[in-house]
Chain A
Amino acid sequence: MTITIDGKICSCEKGEKLLAVARRNRIPIPTLCHHESLPGQASCRVCIVEVVQQGRSTVTSACVYPVEEGIQVYTNSDRIRRERGMILALLHKRAPDSRLIADMCRIYGAPELNRVSVSLPGKCILCGLCVRACAELSVGAISTVNRGVTKEIATPYHEPSAVCVGCGSCASVCPTGAIEVTETADTRTIWDKTFPLVRCARCGAPIGTREELDHAARKAGVERETLCEHCRRRSMTDVLAAAYGD
């Protein structure tokens, strides 16, 4: 089937998400909380677009909207520009220290909103990707805490978590770099907890925290990894070489 995005006819499959169709057709739609491996978050609302169907126009978020035959989509109408700008301006008040948000405000012409106060210092936009990532890894060290305007992301009782393995997945999916990770030669500190780093038995490069490697090994039912990815591949080559000859 086909749909029209900003005047361009795009072919797509039923049930496909609008964002995916747009990206395939190189039509840019900004996103913050969208992550390929953690889809469906739909919380930041930056990807809003206007969808016209049977003459009725509605605003929806492209990341979770399943396309339907014959819809016309406008990613950059006056209404969308105005509202997306307002959402970005609100996020800037929420996360004034985020460079990304400040840059997006500039690019998408967000209003200044000097009239209202800055909500909090920091970079977190509460998109929830970090919580999802942690849960998907069956760790569940962090969650949203409170609700509404007082919502935040934290560990239970705001104390170092007993179950966090220090893998840093939360930080790596965070769109604004709001989760602080500090590393020394042999430790990594995240969410107020410090973990020893394990080094590759062959080359000595850091391969992760001990807890992280244990957690992965437990889940996979194997021994804890001792080599970095590079050395692991090399050791595999060695094994193959030994088995089949050069």
Chain B
Amino acid sequence: MQAEMDQILEILHRYPPEKRHSLAILQDLQHHFNYIPREGMEALAEYLGCPLSSLYSMATFYRALSLKPKGRHIIKLCDGTACHIRGSVNLAGGITRLLGIGAGETTEDGLFSLELVNCLGSCALAPVMVVDETYYGKVTLEKLPEILAQYREGAAE
């Protein structure tokens, strides 16, 4: 717990205590912990001298921020227009059948989270899926099991 608090404080002190840095700090907390721990939000409110409610409001407003822990691997399935008309919805269904999770959910083993995201700006490769930082273009239902398997194996190592 103390270790977590030290990490939180380290992240807060990257920025001067001004309200305008609240979004950046929340994003850094999100990147570090894969979600925003309550202790982090409370420490931030104290650091900035602002109401907790205003940070809670932001954390629930911005899609990049999450209050619940996410899986080790984050699958971002693009549902931008180009991907949508090239079948991203079918891919979402495919992932649900393979992993048993819908959009916004995390597998029970904590390995994967699925997010249906807005356009990733890679429309020429539609439909696009990003796992962690790796882009996969022109994804088909056929290719899905193979792509996901890599991350399963990676986890076993």
Contact = CB atoms under 8 A, between A and B. Distances in A.
Task: Indicate whether A and B are direct neighbours in the complex (CB within 8 Å).
Answer: yes
Interface of A: 135, 139-147, 155-157, 161-163
Does more than half of chain B's interface fall in helix, strand or loop, or is it mixed?
helix
Interface of B: 38, 41, 50-57, 60-61
A155 B53 contact: yes
B61 A156 contact: no
Nearest to B62: A147
Contacts of A163: 51-53
Contacts of B54: 135, 140, 143
B3 to A, nearest CB: 23
A135 B53 CA distance: 10
Contacts of A162: 52
26 contacts: A139-B51, A140-B50, A140-B51, A140-B52, A140-B53, A140-B54, A141-B51, A142-B53, A143-B51, A143-B53, A143-B54, A143-B56, A145-B56, A145-B57, A145-B60, A146-B60, A146-B61, A147-B60, A147-B61, A156-B41, A156-B52, A156-B53, A157-B38, A157-B56, A163-B51, A163-B52
Does more than half of chain A's interface fall in helix, strand or loop, or is it mixed?
loop
B57 to A, nearest CB: 4
Given A135-B54, A143-B51, A156-B56, 13 more contacts: A135-B51, A139-B51, A140-B53, A143-B57, A144-B61, A145-B56, A146-B60, A146-B61, A147-B61, A155-B53, A156-B52, A156-B53, A163-B51
A45 to B, nearest CB: 21
B149 to A, nearest CB: 35
| Chain A to chain B: the 9 pairs with minimum beta-carbon distance, closest first | A140-B51, A143-B57, A143-B53, A156-B56, A146-B60, A156-B52, A145-B60, A147-B61, A140-B53
